[in-house]
Amino acid sequence: MRKPRGHSVLLSLRNDSESNVLIWKHPEEDFNTNSVLTVQPGENAIFLSEGEIAATFKESGRYELKTNNKFFTGDIRNLLSWGESTFTARLFFIRTNETSEVGWGFGTENPVSVRDPKLHIQTDLTGYGTLRVKIDNAVKLMTRLVSFGIDSFAGDDLMDYFGTQIRQVVKATISKTLEVSDREILGITSRLIEYSNELTPAVKTIIEEYGLTMTNFAIGALNIVHNPHRERVEEGFAARQEADILGDKFGQTKAADIGMSAANNPGGAFLGMTNAGLAANFAQGFNNLAAAESQGDKGGKSLSQRLKELKEARDTGLINADEYEDKRKQIINEL
């Protein structure tokens, strides 16, 4: 129970909250009539009298508020109820400036589960991002989302209301996109801007239903969750790609590896060979292949460097899959 405060003066009412607070209720609830409200640039104010919205102030300036609490006589009347005013008057301040970045995300406990289009194995993804919003319709936000029973509402509190919906939309969109893709998940980080742009309209629709406007949405990262089975498949896939790239040279490479091992281990199994020049021939084969690799194309680039740049061009969308495959074969045929 509050003690009598004896408001025999008019109050000057202004927003004294922290900068990250979007909605703040002024602690005074029984201020006298003709008290002065100051609305600063970048904020609105909503005045409630007897539980109803009496006025909304959208322009900066000074305003006199009319309440049922009269100067002096109201204080005498309140003494009969131990200082509790029989007439209520509440004031809310709403910041309309753009919020700082509000984070969202999904971790290993609730990842996106998709099938890698290239390796055809289940892969879990985690991700996080940020968004920025501004209050466009304060009354709509208060009546549909927050309610007038709060004392304050900060930007980070938005995720308590929208976090689940945003995560559902992000996960569904990523899953759907990967289902029809023929690109390996390992290159997913190169598509973050693409995904962000695709998701923006859907997330914006969720936000705008509550009197908010989304000014920015971004996916910060999408990460592949560690999976030993996937790693083994990736190793096998890499070995197969190596064989495809080298073609006829693949057998020569393996032979050269054996030859080099023999040359570096004169006391090993190759001592039993009747052909003393066999190890040397293996080593020579290795040297020939290494020379071809180091010479590269006319621009001085090695085979691996040219193939790497070609793959990056495909992953970033500079060339399509067919162009990539034609160029890859051309590079290999030059060996």
pLDDT > 80? residue 138: yes
Whole-angstrom Cα distance, residue 305 to residue 147?
60
Please name the helix (run of DSSP H) or strand (run of DSSP E) that holds residue 46, with its range, or none.
strand 43-49
Task: Write down the pLDDT at residue 196.
Answer: 94
- Summarised one tens digit per residue, pLDDT across range 224-256 is 998 887 777 777 666 666 666 655 455 555 555
pLDDT at 282: 47
Q: Is the pLDDT of residue 125 over 80?
A: yes
pLDDT at 93 over 60: yes
Higher pLDDT, 192 or 51: 192
Q: For residues 143 and 138, give the distance between their C-alpha atoms in angstroms, rounded to a whole number.
A: 9
Q: How many CB atoms lie within 10 A of CB 259?
A: 21
Q: Say what the pTM is.
A: 0.61
Report how far Cα 263 is from the mean position of its chain's Cα atoms: 54
For the residues of 217-285, what is the DSSP string, one character each? EEEEEEEEPP-HHHHHHHHHHHHHHHHHHHTTHHHHHHHHHHHHHHHT-TTSGGGG-S-TTHHHHHHHH
DSSP structural state of residue 51: T
Question: What's residue 69's pLDDT?
Answer: 64
Residue 277 has pLDDT above 70, yes or no: no
pLDDT in tens, 26-77: 998 777 888 899 999 999 999 988 888 889 999 999 999 887 766 544 454 5
Q: How far is CA 21 from the centre of its chain?
A: 22
In whole angstroms, give the CA distance from residue 117 to residue 178.
Answer: 7
Alpha carbon distance, N-terminus to C-terminus of the chain: 90
Angle at 227 between CA 222 and CA 230, to 5 degrees: 95
Q: Find, among 77, 73, 79, 92, the residue nearest to 29 by Cα.
A: 92
- 152-157 average pLDDT score: 88
Residue 271 has what pLDDT?
42
